[in-house]
Structure 1
Amino acid sequence: MIPAWLTDTVTPNLDRALHYTHLWGLEGIELRTLGGPSDRVPYVNEGKLKRRLAEHDVPVVAVVPGMFEGDAAARTAWLNEVVAFGETLAFCRRIGCRLVVVSAFSRADDPAPAVDALRRAGTAAARQGCTVAVLNEAGGAFPTGTALAGLLAAVDHPNVRAAWSPAEALQAGEAPEEGLQALAGRVALVRCRDGQPGRSGWTPLPFGEGAVGWERQLRLLHRQGFQGPLSLELDVEPRPRQGLRAATRLIEMMRTLRRNAS
């Protein structure tokens, strides 16, 4: 497993993000925006990015270009995204990244268009040696692990896998263990954040202090043979300080897991 983080949840500044990566003891970064709010991958300063990655010896474990965030029934919109996906894949090839995180649509009354879109994206990714990781989101069309597993089974493409967020599943009312069991063998990346559902809605909490049950998640991931990125998504203030705490806690959990497995 690779401890990493989604950088723009703390800063869109590349140099600051790389500094935090080393300071917190993490081994990779997941990129979504760099620079301003509209500077989303792959449309970023690639020359500077490649130089800084080489200087700091930090790999990009995944990119998040903002695909498939709309209604699956809007066929023209997602077809255009599939056509433009080639630019993201070329960008990934140039920076040495093999994983692209996409959404699972905000709405899909009929799952067939979502299946078609993801299968097309998977075929394009396969030609470049990349994998598409589909994220479950609490407000999306496939918010739980069980729902996402059903979608991936229908897509049935080796280059289309899951970006699993147990916190999003918990927000959607699913026990995280059940969601991960449903996704067994399909997970390519795990988003790591924590919180507590309640009568007034979802309350974000520091990593490891909420209701997700991260020790159990990591044990189950280990048993499933997962070796991919564990990407921290920081949403508790003050974020730089919480980032250090979250990274330290994640690394401690990983070390404990390795000790107990040896």
Structure 2
Amino acid sequence: MRVAIENEPGYTATGCRALANLINAVDMENVGANWDPGNAFPFDSEINDAVRVLEGRIFNVHLKDTRVQGDNRRFDSVGKGQIDWKKQITDLAASSYKGCLVIETHCEPGIEKTRESLEAVRTLLQEVTTRNGG
């Protein structure tokens, strides 16, 4: 069985570098990352390098977007916030990522926002696979 550690703001591993350091400190092959760019933004200056920083140790990816205005930070459907999802998905595809992409439903109205996220992810996956030849 594999165990994935999620990055969470305000805890041991907010961003990808801290998450990689924690995984490396555990030093077990079956321990990797549950990478959540929505949790990392805007705290992680290396968010767009996460796939490289986590060096193939990403076991699972959470998908939700994040929007920040002043001190207010809120989650939204994929593509409705400030995360560069095309970069995240492109880098995952280039790394031969085979894990799950998990759509999180942390915003209301839940059904509508989930549909928006599903459509955005479907479009991103089509763009990335078309560009990469398959």
Same topology, TM > 0.5: yes
Moved beyond 3 Å, runs of 4+ = none
Per-residue deviation, 1:212: 1.1
Instruction: Please name the residue that 2:90 is paired with.
Output: 219
Residues 182-209 of structure 1 show CA distances to partners (whole Å, capped at 9, x for unaligned) of 1121100000000122322312222112
Q: 2:17, 2:46 within 8 Å by CA — same for their partners in 1?
A: no
1:197 is paired with a residue whose SS is strand
1:21-170 alignment to 2 at 5 Å? 130-170=1-41
Which residue, out of 108, 114, 118, partners 1:237? 108
Structure 1: any 5+ residue segments left out of the alignment? 1-129
Which residue, out of 52, 61, 83, partners 1:190? 61
Alignment-mate amino acid for residue 163 of structure 1 = N
Q: 1:133, 1:161 within 8 Å by CA — same for their partners in 2?
A: yes
> More deviation in 148-157 or 176-185?
176-185
**Aligned counterparts of 2:49 and 2:132: Cα–Cα separation in 1:** 22
1:209 is paired with a residue whose SS is coil
Distance 1:197 1:174, change over 3 A: farther
Which residue, out of 39, 44, 48, partners 1:177? 48
Q: Percent identity?
A: 25
Residues 189-232 of structure 1 show CA distances to partners (whole Å, capped at 9, x for unaligned) of 00000012232231222211211111110001111111110001
Q: Please say which structure displays the higher CA radius of gyration.
A: 1
Q: Hey, which of these two has a bigger chunk of helix by percent? A: 1
Q: 1:167, 1:176 within 8 Å by CA — same for their partners in 2?
A: no
Instruction: Please name the residue that 1:252 is paired with.
Output: 123
Structure 2: any 5+ residue segments left out of the alignment? none
Per-residue deviation, 1:150: 0.7
Residues 5-49 of structure 1 show CA distances to partners (whole Å, capped at 9, x for unaligned) of xxxxxxxxxxxxxxxxxxxxxxxxxxxxxxxxxxxxxxxxxxxxx
Q: 1:169, 1:179 within 8 Å by CA — same for their partners in 2?
A: no
Instruction: Please name the residue that 1:207 is paired with.
Output: 78
Per-residue deviation, 1:170: 1.1
Q: 2:14, 2:44 within 8 Å by CA — same for their partners in 1?
A: no
Q: 1:146, 1:178 within 8 Å by CA — same for their partners in 2?
A: no
2:8 is paired with a residue whose SS is coil
